[in-house]
């Protein structure tokens, strides 16, 4: 694809501006089962999206065939599509903006195939040997992935970046007294030679074994700690509250509440696509707008919302560099990147000591159905463990936690220091709440 040729032709046919977005994803995954390599799958996917504006209206088209001989047909279709748009709102593409770029210094070391096989074989053997209740390694893999992104438009925007990831993933099944449970763990691996297999196996198997012999709780109100993974799942379901698009449409209940207190003063929320501690960074969003750090909530006060170009225009604001795609063929929308709740000073164990007695929730289920985004009410199946005298007492399951997210975030007792990014772009530490409604026996 000769991008300059496509852009010049589009402009000659009456387009006011045009953009070409391309992403290339390469992936290699090796799976291991029962002492030998099970599968070896590789993929190489190039995706292209072209966007253009005619009379202030945006049209877009995802392409699989980008040969230059398709150029006239594609541009003609885009122009026809744009002319059918009837909205009164006008769209625009980004113009070049200078920014000081950040670069991730920590790099992935490419392992040999022998290293990968030896590591997977060792993980499987150590999992089975860890405890007689571990009955199977049901899934085990090593994945290498690389993604590149390139944005070019008629105003002169030129953006290129590349991300890499190596990761180990494993799932084990455990059994006791005819009860079977399982759990999985994914870890980003920068250097396979330095990967601590023993620590990985211990964390995974302990997580799975802790689910055995779980009991329910009597219904009531309990002091509750949402462990970091469970809290991250809940927070990710409500992070759209800060979307300028949803605030403009009145879907987010935060409309009209900027610069007012919405959460406990123990809560500070930051969105920073340039955060070097995260796996993936972005100096520009998927529109070519420079990214920056935003403090969304500052000690409980709603300080800032997220914008892409369109939502910023609607609200007479500036884009915050949060216009991202979920895939090359999708439209740009407002999305957080590397968004997190600022950690506190205490460990999870210290939060349990302070609580003395109560519930630690480690896993949530039903997030697709048990949440009302507009009211922020939620009712979710959950599991975890009960704490007595400040220490873990027994595992808990078959219970439901219910509440209102906005009210809950005003009832924070403490925020832990156990924030971990791994492969995620939205994370939180563990958070202790004074009380939550639990339904059980």
Q: How far apart are CA 441 and CA 438, in angstroms?
A: 10
Block residue for tokens 């065939």: 65
Q: How far apart are CA 59 and CA 164, in angstroms?
A: 31
Q: Are residues 176 and 232 in the same domain?
A: no
- What percentage of the chain reaches a pLDDT higher than 70? 100
| CA-based max dimension of the chain | 75
Q: Is the pLDDT of residue 104 over 90?
A: no
Q: In what order do the strands lie in the sheet with 134-153?
A: 57-63, 36-54, 17-33, 134-153, 158-176, 179-188
Q: What is the mean pLDDT of residues 190-214?
A: 96
Q: Note the pLDDT of residue 129.
A: 97
Q: Note the pLDDT of residue 91.
A: 83
Q: Are residues 434 and 349 in the same domain?
A: yes
At 135-172, the pLDDT tens digits run: 999 999 999 999 999 999 999 999 999 999 999 999 99
Q: How far apart are CA 40 and CA 29, in angstroms?
A: 6
At 60-83, the pLDDT tens digits run: 999 988 889 899 999 999 999 998
Tokens of 12: 């000659």
User: If we measure between CA atoms, which residue out of 250, 261, 243 comes closest to residue 303?
Assistant: 261
User: If we measure between CA atoms, which residue out of 291, 200, 255, 234 comes closest to residue 426?
Assistant: 234
Q: Are residues 431 and 363 in the same domain?
A: yes
Q: What are phi and psi of 307, to 5 degrees?
A: -135, 145
Q: Are residues 347 and 383 in the same domain?
A: yes
Q: Are residues 186 and 135 in the same domain?
A: yes
Q: Is the pLDDT of residue 88 over 80?
A: no
Is 130 inside any structural domain?
Answer: yes
Q: Note the pLDDT of residue 56.
A: 87
3-state secondary structure of 62: strand
Strand partners, 359: 224, 386
Q: Are residues 229 and 374 in the same domain?
A: yes
Q: Are residues 201 and 230 in the same domain?
A: no
CATH number at 121 reads 3.30.2290.10
Q: Are residues 357 and 388 in the same domain?
A: yes
Burial of 100 by CB count in 10 Å (0-12 exposed, 13-18 middle, 19+ buried)? Answer: exposed
Q: What is the mean pLDDT of residues 191-197?
A: 96
Q: Are residues 229 and 201 in the same domain?
A: no
At 209-262, the pLDDT tens digits run: 999 999 999 999 999 999 999 999 999 999 999 999 999 999 999 999 999 999
Is 135 inside any structural domain?
Answer: yes
Is 309 inside any structural domain?
Answer: no
Provide the domain count of the chain: 2
Q: Are residues 422 and 395 in the same domain?
A: yes
Residues 273 and 230: beta-carbon distance below 8 Å:
no
Q: Are residues 421 and 386 in the same domain?
A: yes
Range scoring the smallest mean pLDDT among 51-65, 84-98, 344-358, 419-433: 84-98
Q: Note the pLDDT of residue 92.
A: 86
Q: What is the mean pLDDT of residues 193-199?
A: 96
Q: How far apart are CA 398 and CA 217, in angstroms?
A: 8
Q: Note the pLDDT of residue 183.
A: 95
Q: Is the pTM of this model over 0.85?
A: yes
Is 246 inside any structural domain?
Answer: no
Is 81 inside any structural domain?
Answer: no
Is 215 inside any structural domain?
Answer: no
At 11-22, the pLDDT tens digits run: 999 999 999 999
Q: Are residues 183 and 226 in the same domain?
A: no
Is 379 inside any structural domain?
Answer: yes
Is 85 inside any structural domain?
Answer: no
Q: How confident is the model at residue 368 (pLDDT cuts 50, 70, 90)?
A: confident
Q: How confident is the model at residue 98 (pLDDT cuts 50, 70, 90)?
A: confident
Block residue for tokens 């990710």: 236
Domain that holds residue 169: 113-148+157-209
């Amino acid at each position: 694809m000769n991008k300059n040729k496509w852009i010049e032709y589009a402009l000659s046919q009456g387009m006011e501006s045009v953009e070409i977005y391309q992403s290339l994803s390469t992936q290699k995954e090796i799976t291991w089962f029962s002492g030998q390599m099970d599968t070896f799958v590789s993929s190489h996917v190039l995706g292209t999206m072209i966007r253009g504006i005619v009379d202030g209206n945006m049209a877009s088209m995802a392409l699989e065939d980008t040969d230059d001989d398709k150029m006239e047909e594609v541009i003609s279709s885009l122009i026809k599509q744009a002319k059918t748009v009837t909205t009164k709102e006008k769209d625009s593409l980004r113009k070049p903006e200078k920014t000081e770029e950040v670069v991730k210094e920590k790099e992935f070391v490419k392992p040999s195939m022998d290293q990968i096989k030896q590591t997977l074989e060792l993980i499987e053997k150590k999992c089975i040997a860890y405890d007689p209740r571990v009955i199977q390694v049901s899934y085990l893999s090593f994945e290498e992935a690389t993604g590149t992104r390139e944005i070019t438009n008629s105003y002169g925007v030129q953006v290129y970046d590349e991300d890499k990831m190596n990761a180990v993933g494993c799932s084990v099944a455990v059994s006791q007294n005819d009860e079977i449970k399982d759990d999985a763990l994914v870890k980003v691996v920068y250097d396979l030679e330095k990967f601590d297999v023993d620590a990985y196996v211990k964390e995974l198997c302990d997580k799975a074994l802790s689910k055995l012999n779980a009991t329910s709780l009597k219904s009531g109100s309990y002091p509750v700690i949402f462990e970091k993974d469970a809290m991250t799942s809940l927070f990710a379901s409500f992070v759209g509250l800060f979307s300028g698009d949803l605030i403009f449409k009145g879907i987010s209940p935060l409309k009209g509440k900027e610069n007012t207190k919405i959460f406990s003063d123990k809560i500070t929320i930051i969105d920073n696509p340039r955060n070097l501690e995260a796996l993936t960074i972005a100096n520009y969003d998927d529109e070519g707008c420079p990214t920056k750090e935003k403090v969304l909530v500052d000690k409980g006060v709603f300080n800032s919302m997220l914008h892409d170009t369109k939502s910023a225009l609607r609200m007479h604001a500036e884009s915050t560099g949060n216009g991202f795609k979920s895939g090359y063929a999708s439209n740009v929308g407002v999305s957080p990147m590397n968004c997190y709740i600022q950690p506190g000073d205490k460990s999870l164990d210290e939060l349990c000591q302070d609580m003395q007695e109560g519930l630690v929730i480690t896993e949530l289920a039903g997030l697709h159905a048990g949440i009302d985004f507009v009211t922020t009410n939620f009712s979710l199946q959950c599991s975890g463990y009960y704490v007595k005298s400040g220490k873990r007492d027994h595992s808990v399951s078959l219970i439901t936690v219910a509440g209102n997210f906005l009210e809950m975030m005003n009832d924070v007792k403490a925020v832990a220091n156990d924030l971990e990014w791994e492969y995620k772009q939205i994370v939180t530490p563990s958070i202790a709440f004074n009380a939550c409604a639990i339904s059980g026996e």
